[in-house]
Structure formats: C-alpha cells, structure tokens
C-alpha cells in the first residue's frame, strides 16, 4: 500500500483546492455595492464630448464642464441629474450653440436618469456605473440653421477606488471613455445576477431619423455626503 500514498495525497490536495475555489466563487457578490446605501453625492467634471453615427455631420458636441447631483436608493441603484454647460458644436467654420429642449440657459443640456453599480467583467475585479438616461432632446443652432438631436440608452464608466473607505474630503472617480468617435469603450457589463453580460450602449438620432450608436466621453470626481466604500 506504500506506493499508493503519493496518489492519495495528490487527490486530497486537488479536492481541497477545488473546495477553496468553489467557496471563493460562491462568496463573490453578484454586483458591487456601496455602503452605507443612502449616500448622496455631487460631482464635477472637466470637458466632455458627444457624437454619433450619421448625425451632426460627423462632428462632436463639446461641453466645457458638467455639474451633477444624485443619490443611492439602495446599495447598487440610484438616480442622477447632470447639467452639461458650455455645449458647442463646430462644423467647419460654423459654431452652433446646443441647448436642451427644457433648458432656459443657452448652451446647457440637462440629463436625468437612474444608475446601477455593476461589474465590468465576469472576473469581478473592476466596477462600473451604468447610467440609464431618460431620453433627452437638444437643439444646436447657428443663425437660422438648426440640428435637432435625441439621445437615449445607457452609458457606462469605470469607477474607482474599490474596497477603500472614501471620506467626504476625498472622491470617487468615474471615467467614461470612447473606443471610437461613435462607440464607447464599455458597451457590455455584467448583469445584476452576475450570470452573464448585457448591453449598455448610447443611441442618438437627428431630426427624428433612425437611432444609431453614439458615444460620450467624460470624467467625474464624485463626492459623497458621508464616508462610503464600494465593496466588490
């Protein structure tokens, strides 16, 4: 029986390792979450840009900054409003001022909606904020020329840091980036159950035409009203 001991030992090690891996997998949360779960926040950003396929003569709307407010309703969901300011569209030598249909201040666009905390990928090492926007309309004007745009869908940006307590004197950072002029870098995110991916993509049309893929690029510094941590 002596010659079988190494084999038995190897089998025991493999079984033990498998149990550890299974335990780790089952311990991973389906989604990241913020704690405490009633955090209110404000955020500010620098310049941002927006563009889409077959709209705005392939040019981009560029805003100088945005001001955001919002709050968590649960550990992974909440609502937001973002006011983009100084929004301009340059096509050749023409400069258009872009204003939301419900905005009273020229070249400002208010965007409302809800958001979700999700994992970026199945491994669960990175988290994103997925913004589900209420369809928003804005018009870019230059003289008597107008371009009417409608935007809808979902835009996702990676948020950091994770598993770190962030004080009110500090901030989380959310980066939403483009992979191309009309496509965001992140268009697939983990679903709420943590069992697969789902689409998170912005769409836009011009003058009531067909909705096509669109993209936004922005970076926000998010400040909470209390010390909070995104656990992943």
- Residue 6: the pLDDT is 47
The reply to whether 146 falls in a domain is yes
The reply to whether 208 falls in a domain is yes
The reply to whether 56 falls in a domain is yes
Q: Which domain holds residue 92?
A: 29-231
- Residue 51: the pLDDT is 96
- Residue 26: the pLDDT is 47
- Residue 23: the pLDDT is 41
- Residue 28: the pLDDT is 63
User: In tens digits, what is the pLDDT along the chain, a chain of 232 residues?
Assistant: 444 444 444 333 334 444 443 444 445 689 999 999 999 999 999 999 999 999 999 999 999 999 999 999 999 999 999 999 999 999 999 999 999 999 999 999 999 999 999 999 988 899 999 999 999 999 999 999 999 999 999 999 999 999 999 999 999 999 999 999 899 999 999 999 999 999 999 999 999 999 999 999 999 999 999 999 999 9
What is the CB-side half-sphere exposure of residue 117 using CA atoms within 13 A?
26
Q: How many domains does the chain have?
A: 1
The reply to whether 23 falls in a domain is no
CB-CB contact of 80 with 68 (8 Å): yes
- Residue 27: the pLDDT is 58
The reply to whether 167 falls in a domain is yes
DSSP-assigned letter for residue 170? S
Produce one character per residue of 35-73: b if its CB has 16 or more CB atoms within 10 Å, e if not: eeeebebbbebeebebbbbebbeebbbbbeebebebebe
The reply to whether 198 falls in a domain is yes
In angstroms, the CA 66 to CA 62 distance is 11
The reply to whether 64 falls in a domain is yes
The reply to whether 14 falls in a domain is no
- Residue 181: the pLDDT is 87
Whole-prediction pTM? 0.86
CB-CB contact of 134 with 161 (8 Å): no
């Amino acid at each position: 029986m002596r010659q079988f001991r190494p084999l038995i030992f190897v089998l025991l090690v493999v079984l033990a390792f498998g149990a550890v891996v299974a335990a780790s997998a089952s311990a991973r949360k389906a989604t990241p979450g913020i704690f405490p779960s009633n955090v209110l926040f404000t955020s500010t950003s620098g310049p941002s840009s927006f563009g889409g396929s077959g709209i705005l003569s392939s040019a981009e709307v560029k805003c100088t900054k945005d001001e955001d407010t919002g709050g968590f309703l649960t550990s992974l969901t909440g609502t937001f409003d973002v006011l983009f300011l100084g929004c301009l569209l340059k096509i050749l030598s023409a400069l258009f001022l872009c204003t939301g249909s419900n905005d009273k201040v020229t070249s400002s666009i208010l965007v409302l909606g809800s958001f979700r905390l999700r994992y970026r990928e199945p491994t669960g090492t990175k988290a994103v904020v997925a913004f589900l926007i209420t369809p928003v309309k804005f018009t870019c004007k230059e003289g008597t020329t107008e371009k009417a745009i409608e935007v809808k869908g979902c835009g996702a940006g990676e948020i950091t840091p994770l598993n770190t307590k962030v004080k009110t004197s500090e901030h989380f950072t959310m980066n939403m980036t483009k992979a191309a002029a009309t496509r965001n870098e992140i268009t697939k995110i983990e679903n709420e159950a943590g069992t697969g991916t789902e689409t998170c993509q912005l769409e836009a049309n011009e003058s009531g035409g067909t909705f096509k893929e669109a993209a936004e690029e922005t970076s926000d510094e998010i400040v909470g009203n209390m010390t909070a941590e995104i656990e992943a």
